[in-house]
């Protein structure tokens, strides 16, 4: 059953068309990922769905309520974890949840029980009475997740939930998100530009670029449609035409002396392929990722746009090293 229905949603800021007509249906219980580079319109879209930003045209229905005509009911039915931390650092973890519980009208007799449950779920019971300014980045995120789910919303929006966290904390945060979504049977809509994480986490993905959804499918299907495995061969002057004519090869890309060949069942055909090429210095075989899907669709690497974005500096360095080889 559909819990979110978005119809020709647009948003224009002055001359900038941030969102250019999005149609999208998200089913109950799904973990849905909106993927795209910075400035693609992810945050604006989520902002409109949470009724923080008023759409220029079009609308959306969340849990049966229209985001333009019934914003208060929509707010009651959604939880949000913003990209930037929004905890009250002068309050303790528990007090942050108490404030939220009151603002969302959770009945007084239920309040403490729901708060305890949430603290338990994110493993923060022992630190619940410490000021949140003493929390680590990962703990703050967990408390925000607990806060987002406290009033038992139908949909939880997560805007870059792991941005700025170290890789280990990121992995743990995803575990919590999955666990909570399952336990509370909440639909989760998240944005991220960590492709690997989206691939692992999401049931379905919408790739968004320049304010439009340019692809919509399960991560598995998207990757299957890439046409097989990717084999990167480093060798001078490979016989490109000959390779291209092989029946199992679907695409060839060259960058310097590296040739990236997309082919079906690489484990069977690799030997035949290598027989054609002389002076092979290195061979690397991998499954395509969502990043490859993104490159194929837009001609750009999603991470190039985010290079300055502190969170992924380790990946950036890793990529540099790979290229240098």
Q: Are strands 229-234 and 187-192 parallel, antiparallel or unpaired?
A: unpaired
Q: Per CB under 8 A, which region of 67-75, 163-171, 220-228, 300-308 contacts other proteins? A: 67-75
Among candidate residues 160, 146, 157, 147, the one with its CA nearest the CA of residue 48:
157
Sign of the CA dihedral running 254, 255, 256, 261: negative
Q: In whole angstroms, what is the distance from residue 148 CA to residue 157 CA?
A: 8
From 29-37, 96-104, 212-220, 243-251, give the range in contact with other proteins by CB under 8 A: 96-104
Residue 40 has a CB neighbour count (10 Å cut-off) of 26
Give the SS3 label for residue 144.
helix
Do the Cβ atoms of 201 and 31 come closer than 8 Å?
yes
- Tell me the closest approach of the beta carbon of residue 47 to other proteins, in angstroms: 10
Q: Residue 21 or residue 164: which is nearer to other proteins going by CB?
A: 164
| Segment interacting with other proteins (CB under 8 A) among 91-99, 121-129, 224-232, 263-271 | 91-99
CA angle 152, 155, 156 (to 5 degrees): 85
Which position among 7, 17, 25, 52 is part of the footprint of other proteins (CB under 8 A)? 52
Q: Is 70 in the site for other proteins (CB under 8 A)?
A: yes
How far is 251 from 148, CA to CA, in rounded Å? 44
Residues 6+ apart with CB under 8 A from 43: 83, 159, 191
Residues 6+ apart with CB under 8 A from 59: 6, 7, 9, 66, 67, 68, 69
Select 91 or 243, whichever has its Cβ closest to other proteins: 91
Map the footprint of other proteins across residues 98-117, applying CB under 8 A: 98-100, 102-105
Least distance from other proteins to the Cβ atom of residue 120, Å: 21
> What are residue 257's DSSP bridge partners?
none
73 binds other proteins (CB under 8 A): yes
Of the two residues 85 and 227, which places its CB atom closer to other proteins in the complex? Answer: 85
Terminal Cα-to-Cα distance of the chain (whole angstroms): 50
Q: Quick one: 84 or 241, whose CB is closer to other proteins?
A: 84
Q: Note whether 204 binds other proteins by CB under 8 A.
A: no
Q: What is the DSSP string of 218-231?
A: -HHHHHHTT-SEEE
**Total binding residues for other proteins by CB under 8 A?**
29
State both tokens at 191: 């944005």
x/- binding map, residues 31-50, to other proteins, per CB under 8 A?
-------------------x
152 touches other proteins (CB under 8 A)? no
Taking CB under 8 A as the binding criterion, the range among 72-80, 210-218, 266-274, 278-286 that sits at the site for other proteins is 72-80
Residue 150 binds to other proteins (criterion: CB under 8 A): no
Find the length of the chain: 325
In the structure encoding, which two tokens stand for residue 188, read together? 């989760």
Give residues with Cβ within 8 angstroms of 142, minimum separation 6. 122, 123, 124, 173, 176
- Is position 16 an interface residue for other proteins (rule: CB under 8 A)? no
Region binding other proteins by CB under 8 A among candidate stretches 79-87, 209-217, 277-285, 303-311 = 79-87
> Please, what is the minimum distance in Å from the beta carbon of residue 251 to other proteins?
44
Q: Is 86 in the site for other proteins (CB under 8 A)?
A: yes
To the nearest whole angstrom, how small is the minimum distance from the Cβ of residue 17 to other proteins? Answer: 20
Residue among 22, 80, 190, 202 that touches other proteins (CB under 8 A): 80
| φ and ψ at residue 283, rounded to 5 degrees | -130, 135
Question: Among 2, 13, 57, 90, which residue interacts with other proteins (rule: CB under 8 A)?
Answer: 90
- Binding residues (CB under 8 A) for other proteins: these are 50-52, 69-73, 75-76, 80, 82, 84-91, 95, 98-100, 102-105, 147
């Amino acid at each position: 059953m559909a819990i979110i229905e978005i119809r020709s949603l647009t948003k224009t800021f002055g001359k900038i068309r941030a969102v250019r007509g999005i149609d999208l249906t998200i089913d109950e219980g799904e973990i849905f990922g909106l993927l795209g580079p910075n400035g693609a319109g992810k945050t604006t879209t989520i902002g409109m769905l949470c009724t923080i930003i008023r759409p220029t045209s079009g609308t959306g229905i969340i849990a049966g309520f229209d985001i333009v005509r019934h914003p208060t009911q929509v707010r009651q039915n959604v939880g949000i974890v913003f990209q930037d931390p929004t905890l009250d650092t002068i309050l303790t973890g528990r007090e942050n949840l108490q404030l939220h519980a009151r603002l969302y009208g959770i009945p007084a007799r239920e309040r403490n029980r729901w708060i305890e449950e949430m603290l338990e779920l994110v493993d923060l019971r022992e630190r619940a009475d410490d000021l949140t300014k003493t929390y680590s980045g990962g703990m703050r995120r967990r408390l925000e997740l607990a806060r987002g789910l406290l009033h038992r919303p139908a949909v939880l929006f997560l805007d870059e939930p792991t941005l700025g966290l170290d890789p280990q904390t990121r992995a743990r945060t995803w575990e919590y998100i999955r666990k909570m979504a399952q336990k509370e049977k909440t639909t989760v809509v998240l944005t991220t530009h960590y492709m690997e994480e989206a691939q692992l986490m999401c049931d379905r993905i919408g790739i968004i670029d320049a304010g439009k959804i340019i692809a919509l499918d399960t991560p598995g299907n998207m990757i299957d449609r890439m046409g097989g495995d990717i084999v990167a061969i480093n060798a001078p002057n490979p016989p490109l035409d000959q390779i291209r004519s092989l029946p199992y090869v679907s695409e060839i890309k060259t960058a310097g002396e590296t040739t990236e060949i997309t082919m079906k069942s690489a484990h069977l055909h690799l030997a035949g392929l290598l027989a054609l090429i002389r002076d092979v210095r290195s061979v690397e075989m991998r499954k395509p990722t969502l990043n490859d899907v993104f490159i194929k669709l837009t001609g750009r690497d999603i991470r190039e746009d985010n290079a300055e974005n502190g969170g992924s500096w380790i990946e950036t360095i890793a990529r540099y090293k790979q290229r240098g080889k």
